[in-house]
A and B are shown apart, each in its own frame.
Chain A
Amino acid sequence: MRRVRGQLASGPRLLLLAPLLLFLAGAYGIPFLGVVRWSFTQPEPGIGQYVKLVGDPLVLSVFLRTFRICAAVTVCATAGAYAIAYLWVRGTPLQRGVTELCILIPFWISVLTRAFGWLALLSNRGLLNSWLEGIGVIADPLPLVHNEFGVIVGMTHFLIPFAVFPIASAMRSLDERVLLAARGLGARRLRIFWTIFVPMTAAGIIGAALIVFVFSLGFFVTPAILGGGRSVMVAELVYLRMFQSIDWGLGAAISVVLVLIVGLLLALLFRFVRPASLAR
């Protein structure tokens, strides 16, 4: 039965799947293979670059720092996005209007403006420290920027609005009657939230976490400005290798390794998640 269905449907299936696949293969896949080739041919043919990668302590520490920061950002951004998406989808019209404003406004602030905005807020003579000192909570300014804390704050701020969309999409299609029924049966709010609402919006949470994590791996402007130049993350390392030292082979090798690592994480993710969400 399935085979027959497959044959019958092959025409439309191709029409739907092919355009994007062909487009990406041609516009990205093939040129990217050229880049991958660099990792094996520049400056000399062989796997020398990969060997160098493994033995280079800077690369290892950069990878670890990157994954650590991106994981922290993913957790914060997804949680924050969930909180505000909840009000955006399920709140009263006034609540919905206000949260919509708050979600959309940050999009219009370019990443550079945002980074310098946070710098102005968090630096020693910045707004936050001045205010805290003014009300007497602290005596000396807190080091809130030029370190990893500043980076996490800046990146989370950037990514929350992006995480909101998949979560809101999932929340929206949740049938309200299920929640009402649970309440009618006597369940308390917290219980309803954890046992019904969150599992039913799981696809949205996963989609959001995926977008945020992968997107954050590519950040280098915000960490550069808010990290004090010390938190070099993998995207900036690749930039350094490709532009300051023209070591294209090494830059390509780092990228390939990154893709492999993320691919592995995604494969693991889909192992646990796929049965539940995609094939319902």
Chain B
Amino acid sequence: MSGYRPGLFAIFAAAAVAVFLLMPLLAIVPVSFTHTRYLAMPQGQLSLRHYRELIDNPDWLNSALLSLRVGLVSSAVATILATAFGLGIWMFRPRLAALLVGFVLLPMVVPPVVSAMTLYFLLTTLSGFNDIVGYDSWLGVALAHVVMIAPFAVVLVLVALSQLDRRIDLAARGMGASVAQRAFRVILPNIKFGILTAALLSFVLSWEEIGVTLFITSVNAVTLPRLIWMGLHDNIDPAIAAVSVLLITVTILVLLTRLLIQGRRPIAWSSRARHRRQLSARRDQAEG
């Protein structure tokens, strides 16, 4: 009796999806080793030239670092703003909640090209006043990314909040807790996972963002997707496959390391689950 585990059918379904998710790697990994200068499966000959290109050409590393900077800043800002907003909606339930949420989701709904134009004019206007946050600057890109990402973060935070039992907030209020205490001591700790996923999703969205980024950058703030897309009209450099393989390898190493560190100890998702496990372990012992 070790908790409610997925049955055979569920495992099979999940496995099918997992295979589907990994399928493009069947093409991408071999392609990254092709000896040709264009995207093709290596017919016999393998080559590391595209990996070497990543090291030799400084543009790749610079773009990756820029994307990292932009991603960290924009995901942090977006998550904080979205969390505050989500808390406001959940705690106070303002009358116009649906309208406010609808407004916040606007950047997500509008076609990316129009968002791109909108943000382009915003940033060029800002460039008229200052040199730091504007067109073709990394802070300008971060600003635009926050705008595009915030709606997604809001949805995730709202989902997390919707799972919360209001009674703990009511209890805290009844005991005289202030808004700040309710937020920081009661509510936020219980939606930790939700906020974390919002932050992670925000980072990935910023990392991948191309529609708007293509428009608001030129030669200075070249993010990784921008660099990859420079060749869209013409040739697709297999180096992009090499980039993906490298990033995936890093991810795998990080996750494996984490699994090994957590090792024999079962991964405790929450203190309540750990407590439950301890209880059932003791019960097992008693039953013999």
Interface of chain B residues 5 through 62 with chain A (CB within 8 A) = 5-7, 9-11, 13-14, 16-18, 20-28, 31, 39, 41
Q: Is A59 an interface residue (CB 8 A)?
A: no
Q: Is B171 an interface residue (CB 8 A)?
A: no
Interface of chain A residues 40 through 65 with chain B (CB within 8 A) = none
Q: Is A166 an interface residue (CB 8 A)?
A: yes
One of A28, A98, A110, A218 near B243 (C-beta < 8 A): A110
Across the interface, which residues of A come within 8 angstroms of B81, CB to CB? Answer: 19-20, 23
Q: Do A104 and B24 touch across chains, with their CB atoms under 8 A apart?
A: no
Q: Do B147 and A27 touch across chains, with their CB atoms under 8 A apart?
A: yes
Q: Do B18 and A112 touch across chains, with their CB atoms under 8 A apart?
A: no
Across the interface, which residues of B come within 8 angstroms of A210, CB to CB? Answer: 155
Q: Is A101 an interface residue (CB 8 A)?
A: yes
Q: Do A259 and B109 touch across chains, with their CB atoms under 8 A apart?
A: yes
Mark each residue of chain B from 99 to 138: 1 if its CB lies under 8 Å from any CB of chain A, else 0.
0101111111111111101110110000000000000000
Q: Is A230 an interface residue (CB 8 A)?
A: no
Taking the nearest CB of chain B, how far is it from the CB of A41, in angstroms?
15
Across the interface, which residues of A come within 8 angstroms of B31, CB to CB? Answer: 117, 120
- Chain A: CB-nearest residue to B250: A108
Q: Do B92 and A217 touch across chains, with their CB atoms under 8 A apart?
A: no
Interface of chain A residues 5 through 39 with chain B (CB within 8 A) = 6, 9, 12-13, 15-17, 19-21, 23-25, 27-29, 31-32, 34-35
> Once the chains are docked, how many angstroms separate the CA of A96 from the CA of B267?
10
Q: Do B266 and A20 touch across chains, with their CB atoms under 8 A apart?
A: no
Q: Which of B82, B147, B183 has the most CB of A within 10 A?
A: B147
One of A90, A102, A114 near B18 (C-beta < 8 A): A102
Taking the nearest CB of chain A, how far is it from the CB of B265, in angstroms?
9
| Stretch from A135-143, A144-152, A154-162 that touches the partner | A154-162
Q: Is A198 an interface residue (CB 8 A)?
A: no
> Once the chains are docked, how many angstroms separate the CA of A9 from the CA of B179?
8
> Once the chains are docked, how many angstroms separate the CA of A18 from the CA of B138?
26
> Once the chains are docked, how many angstroms separate the CA of A180 from the CA of B89?
33
Across the interface, which residues of A come within 8 angstroms of B165, CB to CB? Answer: 280
Q: Do A117 and B17 touch across chains, with their CB atoms under 8 A apart?
A: no
Q: Do A173 and B163 touch across chains, with their CB atoms under 8 A apart?
A: yes
CB pairs A–B below 8 angstroms (19 shown): A21-B103, A32-B110, A32-B114, A83-B10, A83-B17, A93-B259, A95-B11, A106-B21, A109-B248, A111-B225, A113-B28, A165-B200, A169-B160, A180-B3, A183-B4, A210-B155, A242-B113, A270-B98, A280-B166
3 cross-chain pairs, A with B, having the tightest CB-CB distances, nearest first: A16-B88, A117-B24, A108-B247
Interface residues of A (CB under 8 A from B): 6, 9, 12-13, 15-17, 19-21, 23-25, 27-29, 31-32, 34-35, 80-81, 83-84, 86-88, 90-93, 95-114, 116-118, 120-121, 126-127, 157, 160-162, 165-166, 168-170, 172-174, 176-177, 179-180, 183, 189, 203-204, 207, 210-211, 214-215, 217-218, 220-221, 234-235, 238-239, 242-243, 248, 251-252, 254-255, 258-259, 262-263, 266-267, 270, 274, 277-280
Interface residues of B (CB under 8 A from A): 3-7, 9-11, 13-14, 16-18, 20-28, 31, 39, 41, 81-82, 84-85, 87-94, 97-98, 100, 102-115, 117-119, 121-122, 143, 146-147, 150, 152, 154-156, 158-160, 162-166, 179-180, 183, 190, 193-194, 197-198, 200-201, 204, 207-208, 210-211, 224-225, 228-229, 232, 236, 240-241, 243-244, 247-248, 251-252, 255, 259, 262, 266-267, 269, 273, 276
